[in-house]
Amino acid sequence: MPLTPENGVEIRRRISIMPESPGLYLRLSVVENLECFAELYETPDPTDRIDRALRAVNLVDRAGDACGALSKGLRQRVALARALLSDPEILFLDEPTAGLDPAAARDVHELIVALSRSGVTIFLTTHRLEEAERLCTRVAILNTTLRTIGRPAELRDQLFARTLTVKTLAPLGDPGLVFGDLPAVDGWHQDGPVAYVLTISDAAVAAPAVTRALVRAGADVLSISESRYSLEDVYFELIDENETAHGE
């Protein structure tokens, strides 16, 4: 469907938005708020749909309460219920867990995952990078402008070399001999007296080969771990790159 003003009604029928500020009518009850929006979306059987939306956010027992009497977290949940009323194909969520306690945030996360699995495309705006990493299949990082976009694993691979960190009980006699000619190991360097960082191309190939080489060398292995970079690392790497570029 072309994104033209002529298709505005049809486009808005297929999307739903939960803004950062819930934007509820505070003098109206939860149900009255939802009734209004169910009608605006021309929802068939609005009573049933409202009931389902309230169940999805665990708010059935507060249905008759005035929204002005609810806590910020509960208002967020009402706004989420409102966004679910129309069974949208595309859902925009702006900071959906802002102000929620951990248990409520977990419930919202589970709901988002369930919606995503049911085929709803979700655009999630968040400052919580662990939330984005946990919930999103593709991530766009904005810092004034769009800095990067892609799957979290792709972004990590773009910015960071994949590495294995090996820790042994005692220093290896000749680490170059142990790590020198292993498949999928592109290089190595020592990181402290008993730690070695190996640059690898494929962890599934490199890790077993490294383990076998260490055993052959008679090393007492404490750990072999693949370095994990979080989305936060990606973010700061991008910001650092930006600041470096501006500094130059």
Partner 1 sequence: MSVNSRRVRAIVRKELRDFRRNRSLTVGMAIIPVLFCVQPLVAVFTLDPAASTTLRHQHVLLYMLGIPALVPSFVAAYSVVGERQQGTLEPVLTTPIRREELLLGKALAALLPSLAVAYVVYGLFLACVELFAAPVVASALIRLPDLLAQLFFTPLLAGWSIWLAILISTRSNDIRVAQQFAMLASLPSIAVTTLVGLNVIKVSLVAGLVAAAALLLLNWIGWRFVSAIFDREQLIIGTK
Binding stretches for partner 1 (CB under 8 A): 9-10, 12-13, 15-17, 19, 21-28, 32, 35-37, 39-42, 79, 82, 86
Q: From CA 142, how far away is CA 145, in angstroms rounded?
A: 5
Shortest distance (Å) from residue 17 CB to partner 1: 4
Identity of the residue, 15 or 159, whose beta carbon is nearer to partner 1 in the bound complex: 15
Residue 90 or 177 with smaller CB distance to partner 1? 90
Residue 200's DSSP bridge partners are 185
Contact 103, 77 (CB under 8 A): no
**Bridge-based pairing state of the strands 121-125 and 90-94:** parallel
- What is d(CA 202, CA 194) in angstroms, rounded to the nearest whole number? 23
* Separation between Cα atoms, residue 19 and residue 54, nearest integer Å: 18
Which of 34/108 has CB closer to partner 1?
A: 34
Minimum CB–partner distance for residue 114 and partner 1 (Å): 22
CB-nearer residue toward partner 1: 82 or 162? 82
When the beta carbons of 14 and 147 are compared against partner 1, the nearer one is: 14
Residue 141 β-bridge partners: 148
For partner 1, the closer CB: 27 or 106: 27
Q: Which is nearer to partner 1, 26 or 113 (CB)?
A: 26
Q: How far is the CB of 22 from partner 1 (least distance, A)?
A: 8
| Cβ 7 to partner 1 shortest distance, Å | 11
Neighbours of 91 (CB within 10 A): 23
Residue 25: phi and psi, rounded to 5, are -80, 105
Q: How far apart are CA 123 and CA 18, in angstroms?
A: 10
Q: Supply angle C-alpha 28, 29, 35, rounded to 5.
A: 90
CB–CB of 98/66 below 8 Å? no
- We find the least distance from the C-beta atom of residue 75 to partner 1, in angstroms, to be 11
Q: How many residues does the chain have?
A: 248
Q: For the CB of residue 145, give the shortest distance to partner 1 in the complex, in Å.
A: 17
Minimal distance in Å, beta carbon 64 to partner 1? Answer: 14
Q: Please give the structure tokens belonging to residue 216.
A: 């052959």
Helix or strand run (H / E) with residue 125 = strand 121-125
